Amino acid sequence: MSAFDYQRLDEVIHSRIRLAVMSILSGVESAEFTYLRERTGATDGNLGAHLRKLEEAGYVAVEKRFEDRKPVSRYELTAEGRAAFRRYVDRLEAMIGGEG
Amino acid sequence: MQDSAREDLALIRRIMEETRQEVTERGRHLVIWGGISTAGLLATWWAALGRGGVDPVRVWTGLLVVGWGASLYVGWRDGRRARVRTAGRRLLSAVWLTAAVTLTLVGGAGMFGGVLSNRSLPGVLSGILAMPILLTSLLTGERWLSWVAAGWWLGGAVMLFVPGVYALPLMAGMALLLMAVPGGVLNARASARRGAGPVRDGA
């Protein structure tokens, strides 16, 4: 795998927190913001910024509502997000496969 | 670069495996029904030995009302509190609801309607109960639960092929050891996972 190929990794996903978020959401139907924060260990502001970037790329969708008068944000991967994540994992596997 | 790719893949796999275990939240129902079944079976045994003061039909009616009420409340509360929704969790809920309805119908038909012989009832119920436990093991990756399911099938086979009054205290012991105790273990493991911290520090 050449440096050029490595750079073909999706830059939207290629960040520690965004990768963790995509990995979590790929295994569930949806997850609340607090759950993602707990699993990633990120701060509210940091996680919010990463989620906005994923949302702007069309990889995640958010549903906001009130439960017991508290705002709750629930995130899920879009079809585009699932396809992008699959491509990302495939490319990582190809890089390791090309090692030997 | 390849080291980085390997680390990223390892992270992805670990997160996905940990997320898969999010379906393991059925422990409280097992504790409830393990306790209900133990109490009901011991009461039935007491009556079967000819000792007075206990009407198994009344005892079971009360226990079933309490069990279903508690289980439905726990299910409703857990559903509201669930911060993550997974297809596995919904499937598991459906499996246990189906099993609970079937066990209530078969148990009720045997005890109240006399459709099934009281001698065969414990074995039949044990055989049915093994199925959702095995499916729970497969869906959650808790492999030790497969041995619990095997225990129910083995106990059920013994009770069916060698019927007798002893089956009642035997099944009561199984309800305690192979239902309530595993439920407590599942709860403890779920609590430990929730307190395990993030998958990776922020970066």
Contacts of B63 (CB under 8 A, 6+ apart): B36, B39, B40
Q: Do A32 and B83 touch (CB under 8 A)?
A: yes
pLDDT of res. B199: 55
CA B168 vs CA A34, A61, B45, B125: distances in Å: 47, 53, 6, 12
Sorted by where each begins, the domain ranges of chain B are 25-187
Range of lowest pLDDT (B94-108, B145-159, B183-197): B183-197
The token duo for B60 is 């079971």
Q: Give the strands of the sheet with A60-67, arranged side by side.
A: A60-67, A70-77, A30-32, B84-85
Whether B73 shows a pLDDT value over 60: the answer reads yes
End-to-end CA distance of chain B: 18
Nearest-Cα residue of chain A relative to residue B196: A39
pLDDT category at B93 given cuts 50, 70, 90 is confident
Nearest-Cα residue of chain A relative to residue B18: A24
Walk me through the domains of chain A, giving residue ranges and CATH numbers.
3-94 (1.10.10.10)
pLDDT of res. A3: 47
Q: Which residues of B touch A99 (CB under 8 A)?
A: 2
Quote the minimal CA–CA distance from B200 to chain A in Å: 6
Q: Which residues of B touch A93 (CB under 8 A)?
A: 9
Q: Do B202 and A26 touch (CB under 8 A)?
A: no
On whether any CB of chain B is under 8 Å from the CB of A6, the answer is yes
Helix (H) or strand (E) holding B154: helix B144-161
On whether any CB of chain B is under 8 Å from the CB of A93, the answer is yes
* CA neighbours closer than 13 Å in the CB half-sphere of residue B87: 6
User: Is A2 within 8 Å of A85 (Cβ atoms)?
Assistant: no
pLDDT of res. A7: 65
The verdict on ipTM greater than 0.85 is: no
Which of the residues in chain A have pLDDT under 70?
A: 1-7, 98-100
Nearest-Cα residue of chain A relative to residue B5: A92
